[in-house]
């Protein structure tokens, strides 16, 4: 073999090594390159099998597959994400869809096939449901969407959480996320409700890290909680504490991440990206901290003029949104950041597909058991435990999300 051929061969070997990666994190493994291709291929075969079992006519197989492909492109865009999270033998692309190759993910796919053309097989009514378990919270966060309830006499915690979950699961729901206030104040209620539920849904909890001890993390895992989303709004401890109005807020986050990882929960950080924070330097520093903490996901949320932000000039500018979207694409869809957490950015998808909440695939249930379009849009559509749930959902879908449903790009 001459020198030129040797260099070419070595270059090919280096390229293969670069494209076959399993990068370890404290919380799991990021998979990319060849193995990601293999896993995706296996997932496509599983989806194809679901399609074939759902429709007897081959023409529907082709059209259903095209429908799912268009749906994915509408939401995620043309490029494919360059990495996949693996935690305790399960594969995840995000924090709002169930693990790949699971029965919950099968139901997620079937629900969207049912949207293409009704199927005779059982399919879920909801991809995701948010449940506020309490209005109580030890913090007074700058961006709190539930601000008026937190500071009023109407603070309350949800009644009959088990009954609500049971009602939702009879309709079919892939993913249930517990919100607050601070949901850890209802820790026992959550554990008991999840334990008594069916295993047809994945459960997550969103927390500030308050009271998230090692013992509680293990009990959450044992009860059936799959993952935890921990709010961290700045990489600088002092600035996060100021944003959350508590001197211990940053330390709570660090301990909660540690305890959740040790309990083998999937861990994500969530940040409200304000106008002041929205710079490339701040975003890079935040992602460096997220990587160091060992989490698998980071969620980007945009500020909304509700709650404590009501009537305030908090919406990001077009230039800030464009820069944030470019940052999101850079970290998720290029090979330069394969060892960094996967970024989840709902605003990016909503601008392209529209809001998937407002009764379409998701709802928000407040502490009174009342149906609302989403956590940021509080309009009552009756109680979830009432007998006329179907008509309430139909009314919600028809009206849509007035505040945030008109965000589609031209």
Residues 210 and 252: beta-carbon distance below 8 Å:
yes
* Exposure b/e, 28-44, CB count within 10 A at least 16 = b: bbbbbbebbeebbeebe
Residue 12's pLDDT is 44
Sign of the Cα torsion 30, 33, 36, 38 reads negative
Quote the Cα angle for 46-68-407, to 5°: 140
Nearest CA-CA partner of 183 in 211, 217, 155: 211
| Alpha carbon 232 to chain centroid, angstroms | 15
Cis? peptide before 181, omega within 30° of 0: yes
DSSP string, 93-144: S-SSSPPBTSHHHHHHHHHHHHHHS--SS---SEEEEEEE-BS--S---TT-
pLDDT at position 149 = 80
Q: How far apart are CA 270 and CA 262, in angstroms?
A: 19
pLDDT score, position 17: 41
* Every domain of the chain and the residues it spans: 105-399
- For the whole prediction, is pTM greater than 0.75? yes
For 224-247, b/e burial (b = at least 16 CB within 10 A) is bbbbbbbbbbbbeeeebbbbbebe
Q: Which portions of the chain are predicted below pLDDT 70?
A: 1-21, 75-78, 151-155, 354-359, 400-410
57: its two tokens: 């006519």
Distances (CA, A) of 4 to 24, 39, 220: 35, 35, 58
> Which residues are bridge partners to 202 per DSSP?
175
- Residue 302's pLDDT is 94
Distance CA 19, CA 176 (A): 35
How would you classify the pairing of strands 90-92 and 84-87?
Answer: antiparallel
Please give the full DSSP string across 257-301, using - where no structure is assigned.
HHHHHHTT-EEEEEEE--TTT-SHHHHHHHHHHHHHHT-SEEEEE
Contacts of 246 (CB under 8 A, 6+ apart): 138, 139, 140
Q: Smallest Cα–Cα separation from 85: which of 345, 256, 346, 294?
A: 294
Pick the CATH number of 105-399 from 2.40.40.20, 3.90.550.10, 3.40.718.10, 3.20.20.70: 3.20.20.70
Q: How far is CA 262 from CA 28, 31, 189, 259, 267, in A?
A: 11, 21, 23, 5, 10
**CB 409: neighbour CB atoms within 10 A?**
7
* Token output for 215: 């013992």
Closest CA to 322 of 280, 271, 288: 280
pLDDT at 76: 65
> Under a CB-based contact definition with an 8 Å cutoff, are residues 351 and 409 in contact?
yes
Q: Say if residues 331 and 340 touch (Cβ distance below 8 Å).
A: yes
């Amino acid at each position: 073999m001459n020198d030129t051929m040797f260099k070419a061969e070595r270059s090919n070997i280096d390229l293969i090594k670069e494209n076959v990666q399993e990068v370890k994190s404290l919380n799991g493994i990021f998979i990319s390159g060849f193995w990601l291709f293999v896993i995706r291929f296996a997932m496509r075969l599983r989806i194809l099998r679901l399609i074939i079992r759902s429709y007897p006519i081959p023409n529907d197989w082709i059209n259903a597959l095209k429908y799912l492909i268009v749906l994915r492109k509408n939401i995620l865009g043309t490029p494919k994400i360059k990495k996949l999270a693996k935690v305790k033998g399960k594969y995840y692309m995000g924090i709002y869809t169930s693990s790949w190759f699971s029965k919950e993910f099968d139901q997620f796919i079937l629900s969207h096939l049912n949207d293409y053309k009704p199927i005779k097989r059982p399919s879920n009514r909801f991809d995701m449901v948010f449940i506020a378990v309490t209005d109580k919270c030890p913090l007074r966060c700058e961006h709190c969407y539930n601000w008026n309830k937190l500071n009023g006499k109407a603070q309350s915690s949800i009644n009959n959480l088990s009954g609500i979950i049971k009602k939702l699961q009879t309709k079919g729901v892939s993913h249930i996320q517990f919100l607050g206030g601070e949901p850890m104040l209802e820790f026992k209620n959550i554990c008991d409700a999840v334990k008594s539920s069916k295993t047809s849904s994945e459960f997550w909890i969103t927390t500030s890290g308050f009271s998230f001890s090692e013992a509680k993390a293990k009990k959450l895992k044992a009860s059936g909680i799959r993952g935890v989303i921990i709010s961290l709004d700045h990489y600088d401890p002092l600035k996060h504490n100021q944003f959350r109005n508590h001197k211990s807020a940053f330390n709570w986050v660090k301990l909660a991440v540690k305890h959740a990882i040790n309990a083998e929960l999937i861990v994500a950080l969530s940040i409200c990206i304000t106008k002041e924070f929205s710079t490339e330097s701040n975003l890079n520093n935040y992602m460096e901290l997220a990587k160091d903490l060992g989490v698998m996901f980071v969620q980007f949320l945009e500020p909304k003029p509700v709650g404590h932000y009501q009537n305030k000039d908090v919406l990001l500018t077009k230039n800030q949104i464009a820069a944030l979207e470019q940052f999101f694409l850079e970290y998720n869809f290029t090979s330069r950041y394969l060892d960094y957490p996967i970024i989840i950015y709902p605003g990016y998808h909503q601008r392209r597909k529209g809001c998937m909440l407002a009764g379409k695939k998701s709802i928000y249930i407040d502490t009174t058991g009342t149906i609302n379009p989403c956590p940021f849009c509080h309009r009552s559509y009756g109680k979830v435990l009432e007998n006329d749930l179907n008509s309430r959902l139909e009314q919600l879908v028809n009206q849509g999300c007035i505040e945030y449903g008109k965000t589609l790009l031209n």
